[in-house]
Chain A
Amino acid sequence: MSWIAIIALAAGTYAFRFAGPVLRDRISVSEEVRRYLTLAAVALLAALIGTAALLDGTHFVGIARPAGVAVGAVLAWRKAPFVVVVVAAAVTAALLRVAGVE
């Protein structure tokens, strides 16, 4: 890993992080546009959730992780506390692995 790569990655990532709020300040956004910007964030988060739950790189990750996420999802939907959701997801995946289900 070269220093060039690290510095460019850091600078570029910061530029992405800094640009969003600044751009939103510059352009006057209507209530309607505001709604779409929030929906864009929702789409990205859902994509991250879907890929992180099901894939390892480009391959299906196996049963244990999606099962853990599914248990967490049901608990979250039933309005269980956040901590319970997170711990239940981890414990489910861990127990399945202990049982030999990958």
Chain B
Amino acid sequence: MRSILRTDPVARDVTALCLAGVVVGLSFGAIASAAGVPLGKIVVMNAFVYAGGAQFLAVGLAGAGASAVAIIVAGLLLNARHLPFGLAIGNEVLGDGRPARLVGSHLMTDESVAFALAQQEPGRRRRAYWLTGVCLFLTWNVSAGVGAIAGSALGDPNTFGIDAAFPAALLALTLPSLKDRPSMRVAIAGAALALVATPFLPAGLPVLVALLALAFALPVKRRSPVRRRS
């Protein structure tokens, strides 16, 4: 195990991310059970919704007395980003054959997509995606289940700075994709649009608004020589 981690940078990085994921999972389980969600429902949510952000949001809304419809709409709005993520990575990252696609798409998270996009060649992309996906799925289910049972004895994960670890991890994974000016512009504009939109739109939409930042890549389209009539 140790030698694998030493020789394989992707496995090492995925392990680090999963360790941070354990803390988030523990805290989700604890918060959900403190909000009165029974263990069975927490376990089913972990396995089948399998989306940390939407799960936190759903539990928060349920605690605030929101209706089922409100919870569904908010959660799906937040998770709609998986559609463009899937368009970006495509089936070649998931692998060949129906089982790989059926299972692989369920493992799609911000982190597995970011890990895949950080790799250059297709084989490595697929491997990074699956390593991240399987590792995060297992740690999320186990740790969020344990957190639900152990409850509030765990304390606040922010004490350990885990809330800073995740954006930093995503950032480190996204940096290699910012290899030219258009992608830099799109990234900066996307983040700015989401931040500006956040006070005005329901949770989930601001991140989708960031797609408008694609417009900032347009002018750099290879300029075809303009023909002038002489």
* Given known A36-B214, A50-B195, A86-B17, contact A9–B207 (CB-CB < 8 A): no
How many A residues face the partner with a CB closer than 8 A?
A: 73
Q: Which of A9, A21, A52, A71 contacts B91 (CB 8 A)?
A: A21
Cβ–Cβ contact B198 & A17, under 8 A: no
A40 touches B105 (CB 8 A): no
Name A94's closest neighbour in chain B (CB-CB): B161
**Which residues from chain A contact B162 at a C-beta distance below 8 Å?**
90
Which residues of B have CB within 8 Å of A39?
182-183, 186, 214, 217
Stretch at the interface among B136-144, B145-153, B167-175: B167-175
Does B164 lie within 8 Å of A89, measured CB to CB?
Answer: yes
Bound Cα distance from A4 to B108, whole angstroms: 23
Interface residues of A in 13-51 (CB under 8 A from B): 13-14, 16-25, 32, 36-51
Contacts of A38 in B (CB 8 A): 88, 117, 177
Can you list, as one digit per residue, whether each of A63-92 has a CB less than 8 Å from chain B (1) or not (0)? 011111101110011000111011111111
Chain B interface residue number, banded: 35 or more
Bound state CA distance, A82 and B174, in angstroms?
Answer: 12
A46 & B163 in contact (Cβ 8 Å cutoff): no
Q: Which single residue of chain A is at the shortest CB-CB distance from B221?
A: A32
Point out residues on A near B: beta carbons under 8 Å: 1-10, 12-14, 16-25, 32, 36-55, 57-58, 61, 64-69, 71-73, 76-77, 81-83, 85-95, 97
Chain B residues with CB under 8 Å of chain A are 9, 12-13, 16-17, 20, 37, 41, 44-45, 48-51, 54, 58-59, 62, 68, 71-72, 75-76, 79-91, 93-94, 101-102, 104-106, 108, 110, 113-114, 117, 158-175, 177-178, 182-183, 186-195, 198-199, 203, 206-211, 213-214, 217, 221
